[in-house]
Amino acid sequence: MTVSHTPEFHIKEVDGRTLRVARWQPRRGSGSNRPLLFFNGIGANIELMAPLPELLDDREVITFDMPGVGESPDPLVPYRPWMIARIAERIISDFGHDKVDVMGVSWGGGMAQQFAWQYGRRTGQLVLAATSAGMLMVPGKLAALSKMADPRRYTDPDFMLKHFRTLYGGNTNGAGGHASRISPPSTLGYLGQLIAMIGWTSVPFLPLISAPTLILMGDDDQIVPLANGKILKTLIPDARLEIIKGGGHLFLVNQADETMALIRNFLGAGPPLRAVA
């Protein structure tokens, strides 16, 4: 099966919210691998994760811009993680999928944990990268967190490149490409994502997650320190923790070959499980 590996874009109305959804079809193989549902980091538009489907081109990949991010309109009312999980569940149903593998990075890792618990029957395998259990987490370094709060990291590529190492840790490979793909979220969009996580933690339900889980953490992450991955591994039954040596918060970007090899090996191939019409 050979197809162009640019995504199909869809505008979907789900639970009263308008969202831009991207769907990459498999570019090689039989298309029998289970689809991957991806949750992006805070303020991150679809284009920022576009390299990932290029490296997982033997399976369908689905993601969407959060309200007020990328080309999804601003949130009209606040939302919580369980609402985002329900939206994602309805999107995969609309595409005809019964069961998907789930991956989340940073802020999106919280959404992935929520989905895997809320819709355990519909979750095959779970990949959590550079993330934590929410409110009950080991905080990052103040210098990195202060730069995270500065809107110039979205609007000024030079600022992003200058402070890339302070912001994210690790090396700066791929920093230029990352900065060029950023589309700044709206103020309401960014605040909406922050507000969604106030008081939220996955600690009570992590022991109930039954999906095989891979946790990926960088040992030089300035925003979500490695200790958070160890907490996740302790609480999720039989979870596997892989540490990216020298990896900062964006090890998926600047150590992509090593990271994606681990993800591909973990996901393997799964049957095409589709919803019954």
3-state secondary structure 21-33: EEEECCCCCCCCC
User: Is 30 an annotated catalytic residue?
Assistant: no
Six-digit token string for 131 = 């993330």
**Active-site residue among 30, 93, 106, 202?**
106
| Residue 115, CA distances (Å) to 14, 137, 181, 263, 269 in order | 16, 19, 27, 19, 21
How far is it, in rounded angstroms, from Cα 10 to Cα 69? 15
Q: Regarding beta strands 8-14 and 17-24, do their DSSP bridges make them parallel or antiparallel, or are they unpaired?
A: antiparallel
CB 123 within 8 A of CB 100: yes
CB 209 within 8 A of CB 109: no
Q: 266 φ, ψ to 5°?
A: -70, -45
Question: How much is the CA Rg of the chain, to the nearest whole Å?
Answer: 17
Which amino acids are annotated catalytic? 106
